[in-house]
Structure 1
């Protein structure tokens, strides 16, 4: 069970909060407008706090010290960025996700290492997929695809290796490049290339397949 703080309780924030709550997460929603909490409906099982999402005291009241994910989904890019920066840098939250309206800001988000969702539709679903998958390896977005860099996790498997062709076939993804876990070599793979547990992998993954694919991503 994960502890999630959602900043912003508009259409996207309320939908996301209910999805996470229904999935078993402990959810706290922050919004400066107390009337916004009506968007959550009567069946919401989480908590709410009126305040500003990048205010340290407000975040502490929301339980940021034990938080696994902060998702900032207000309608203001600067607010979302500040929420993520404060949560990550001051409180050490391991995974922060920002909603991004202006694609011109994508480079800044990537340089800061902030995971984000850019778009106007299915935003709640995209953020939900990121939260439940637990990955923070987002590099870029191309239409239906996300470009991810992550350490390969095969600890759940009986094998310590997997062929690129097997991963691509079973999960409808494309492995773009990989580097050995010890840094000894990097390569653009062929279908017969073998990947090992702990290798660093660059891959293109469809949005809707991230949760399914997340078993390969080390936390």
Structure 2
């Protein structure tokens, strides 16, 4: 996939490194050339210096044929502008923006921009720890048809495979973490106690997933 990342701060640099490691063609944009030092020697993508919402720079980054774009600068207005350009002018198939200040949430919702709020996710993680819950549902937009679910495997009463959570239509695994490290997986990967699973599910697939998670003791 050809993926554009705007913003090479802590979030953008890690995202670009992960995507590059997974073999994607990554272009990352930042207004400060010094920011690219965060990428380290393992990054094999392209870096461009300039304003993230400069259309000329976005064209140079390949926005006309990009498969996905992540706008993750520290400025909500910039992220919103980049996401709007990508969505409404260039029709990039997948566009996600970072919401830096939760007070600006309604602007993203009103314009129909998909977003992730780091502040909200952190609060949810703290809540999960306080309540000793294994399951957390990330859902920033009430009208969204897709939920992102994260849970830890507390117990296994039998063999559970990664493929049990994927049907190719209503649900799929986004990430699998084991012992603090992201794990490469396929449908034959067996889950172990302590694994953390992040998956995306449409509403119609939730019933089947809940049955599987209940058998595993996820609460």
Q: TM-score, normalised by structure 2?
A: 0.60
RMSD in angstroms over aligned alpha carbons? Answer: 2.7
Structure 2 Cα separation of the partners of residues 9 and 163 of structure 1: 36
- Relative to structure 1, the CA distance from residue 117 to residue 93 in structure 2 (aligned partners, 3 Å threshold; closer, same or farther) is same
- Report the alpha carbon displacement of residue 144 of structure 1 after superposing the two structures with TM: 4.7
Structure 1 Cα separation of the partners of residues 29 and 48 of structure 2: 5
Unmatched tracts of structure 1, length 5 or more: 124-142, 157-161, 173-219
* Structure 1 residue aligned with 2:49: 50
SS in 1 for 2:84: helix
Task: Tell which has more relative contact order, 1 or 2 (C-alpha 8 A, sep 6+).
Answer: 1
Structure 2 Cα separation of the partners of residues 77 and 86 of structure 1: 14
- Relative to structure 1, the CA distance from residue 18 to residue 55 in structure 2 (aligned partners, 3 Å threshold; closer, same or farther) is same
- Relative to structure 1, the CA distance from residue 171 to residue 115 in structure 2 (aligned partners, 3 Å threshold; closer, same or farther) is farther
- Relative to structure 1, the CA distance from residue 170 to residue 83 in structure 2 (aligned partners, 3 Å threshold; closer, same or farther) is same
Q: Which stretches of structure 1, 4 residues or longer, exceed 4 Å deviation after superposition? A: 120-123
- Relative to structure 1, the CA distance from residue 106 to residue 48 in structure 2 (aligned partners, 3 Å threshold; closer, same or farther) is same
Count matched residues. Answer: 146
* Structure 2 residue aligned with 1:145: 138
- Relative to structure 1, the CA distance from residue 167 to residue 60 in structure 2 (aligned partners, 3 Å threshold; closer, same or farther) is same
- Report the alpha carbon displacement of residue 165 of structure 1 after superposing the two structures with TM: 3.5
- Report the alpha carbon displacement of residue 63 of structure 1 after superposing the two structures with TM: 0.6
SS in 1 for 2:145: strand
Structure 1 Cα separation of the partners of residues 113 and 54 of structure 2: 18
Unmatched tracts of structure 2, length 5 or more: 123-135, 147-167, 173-203, 215-219
